[in-house]
Structure 1
Amino acid sequence: MTVEKPQEMTGDTNSDGFLTNKDVHRIKHPSLDTNDSSSSRYSVDSQKSRIGPPPGTYVIKLPKDQIYRVPPPENAHRYEYLSRRKTNKSCCRRCLCYSLSALLIIIVLAAIAFGFFYLVYQPHKPQFSVSGVSVTGINLTSSSPFSPVIRIKLRSQNVKGKLGLIYEKGNEADVFFNGTKLGNGEFTAFKQPAGNVTVIVTVLKGSSVKLKSSSRKELTESQKKGKVPFGLRIKAPVKFKVGSVTTWTMTITVDCKITVDKLTASATVKTENCETGLSLL
């Protein structure tokens, strides 16, 4: 293979060693016809590309979004602080979102479980009634305070559904006349299977009870008529049980309106009406 030596370029040059414009058209490639105008243009373009642009200062323009700024040294610590705070905020926001999502899932699952439990086992409120009342210690012939002792016999019915009941300790029972508390006490804890009727007895005691003159007069008149009204309020913690599974502690409230014929140990219940409420929390 033969390598042909290129023709030397001759002509005037400027002070930087570059050819002047008037001599560029003289440069020709040895393999091209000198009479061909297209070859001349090719030769000139080739020579220009080999020569390259003259040295100098150039201005390069970049789009605004491609310019990256570096904070000055005095603001470097502030830049680091703001960057770190943004990261901490993102982490806290992410943790909060995860916590709320988990809480929502737990609530939904609990609601589904409770709905299934209710449909299958049909939990219900037990029914209560007062079957006996005995009153001692109330003296209406004197205006001095008295200390009554009221014995209540309560009948609890768990006759429907498939669930047993567990009455826990910590219940409260109060007896009232015309808004004045005459005594208080509690029932013993007990278990009541499904379909069971249980009779429980408690003694409610008061100490140094003083009635207003109007209430004392009303109580005296009620005894003369043979219709003495009392109010009984019970609040008891209870759990439902099916098999070996026991629910969380709920609260049963019982409000009874009772009428007895007299204020003695042999009193007879004339009327009674009890309403039961169940709180799931």
Structure 2
Amino acid sequence: MADRVHPDDHLNSFPEKPKPEPEREPEPETETETDRAEYLPSFAEKPKPPPGTYLIQIPKDQVFRVPPPENASKLAAYTRLAAAAAALYFALRPKLPSFSLASLAINGLAPSSSSSSSPISPDLAAAIRARNPNSKIGLRYLPGGSVAASYGAVALANGAWPAFFQGRDNVTEFVTPLAGSGIRLSPSTRASMVTAQRNGAVPLTVDARLPVRAKVGAVTTWTWTVKVRCDVTVDELTANATIISQACHVKLRL
């Protein structure tokens, strides 16, 4: 007799379908070191030296704090020299000399000759007053000093500054001749001189360049260059000219 098939047995004969797994949220992509290196600029990379080049690395503290042996003695000498110079400066309190013009006689620039186009030969006599205000320093003016006079940008005459020694707290006055030759003035310069003469105020400039050495006791310094510029106004361009105003400036070039 055939076996009876029960409905439950029939259903159980088929395998159960697998239950679907719940969907997972996608994991965020992570960036590896290799991926990051592909996109970021490599700031640590340094250019490779050319073939045959040797690089020597020195600690930073040694570069800035330890001088090379061959420069150590020089550094010590410069330090001692600077200290000695500072001590000498505060002990002596050096001051620049001062200068002024006592008078300025002028020939060859009279307005009557300004209408002519012929060259002129000015002749000036400058009475210069030089003052040394230092109580412990003497000044020696060496040969080679020069003095020049000009009207605006036109050079008129030049001469020599005398060589002499000026003691401490001393005022020395001397006269130096200035001469010019073959100077041609433009029509505008001539007209300007005539107008200034008529107004009784003629501006002139006197420049001096002086080689000077200072003397302290038995010690004489190296040569300095003293530059002097005096802006002078006279009432007329004659031998009897009177100085109306003046301003002298001194510069020292070591």
Determine if the TM-score, normalized by the shorter chain, exceeds 0.5: yes
Q: Give the counterpart of 1:163 among 137, 140, 147.
A: 137
The answer to whether structure 1 residue 277 and structure 2 residue 248 are counterparts is no
Aligned pairs, number = 187
Superimposed CA distance per residue, residues 50-92 of structure 1 (whole angstroms, 9 cap, x where no aligned partner): xxxxxxxxxxxxxxxxxxxxxxxxxxxxxxxxxxxxxxxxxxx
| 1:124–1:161 contact (8 Å) kept in structure 2 | no
- Corresponding position of 1:220: 194
Q: Distance in 2 between matches of 1:142 and 1:98?
A: 73
Higher relative contact order at CA 8 Å, sep ≥6: structure 1 or structure 2?
A: 2
Q: Give the counterpart of 1:135 among 106, 123, 130.
A: 106
The answer for unaligned runs of 5 or more in structure 2 is 1-66
Superimposed CA distance per residue, residues 198-255 of structure 1 (whole angstroms, 9 cap, x where no aligned partner): 0021111111111121111111100111111100111101111121111111111111
Q: Give the counterpart of 1:236 among 210, 214, 223.
A: 210
Which residue identity is paired with 1:107? Y
Q: Give the counterpart of 2:154 among 171, 176, 180.
A: 180
Q: Distance in 1 between matches of 2:126 and 2:183?
A: 19
Cα deviation for residue 98 of structure 1 reads 4.3
- Corresponding position of 1:104: 75
Change beyond 3 A, Cα 1:106–1:273: same
Structure whose alpha-carbon radius of gyration is higher: 1
In terms of mean alpha carbon deviation, does 168-177 or 101-110 score higher? 101-110
| 1:171–1:236 contact (8 Å) kept in structure 2 | yes
Q: Give the counterpart of 1:248 among 211, 222, 226.
A: 222
- Corresponding position of 1:120: 91
* TM-score, length basis structure 2: 0.70
| 2:96–2:133 contact (8 Å) kept in structure 1 | no
Which residue identity is paired with 2:186? K
The answer for unaligned runs of 5 or more in structure 1 is 1-95
- SS, match of residue 241 in structure 2: coil
Percentage of identical aligned residues: 36
Q: Distance in 1 between matches of 2:222 and 2:166?
A: 16
Cα deviation for residue 114 of structure 1 reads 1.3
In terms of mean alpha carbon deviation, does 220-229 or 138-147 score higher? 138-147
Q: Distance in 2 between matches of 1:99 and 1:133?
A: 58
Q: Distance in 2 between matches of 1:221 and 1:110?
A: 57
State how 1:24-173 maps to structure 2 within 5 Å.
97-138=68-109, 139-173=113-147
Which residue identity is paired with 2:249? E
| 1:186–1:202 contact (8 Å) kept in structure 2 | yes
In terms of mean alpha carbon deviation, does 154-163 or 223-232 score higher? 154-163
Q: Give the counterpart of 2:168 among 194, 200, 207.
A: 194
Q: Distance in 2 between matches of 1:246 and 1:151?
A: 32
Q: Distance in 2 between matches of 1:149 and 1:101?
A: 59
RMSD: 1.9
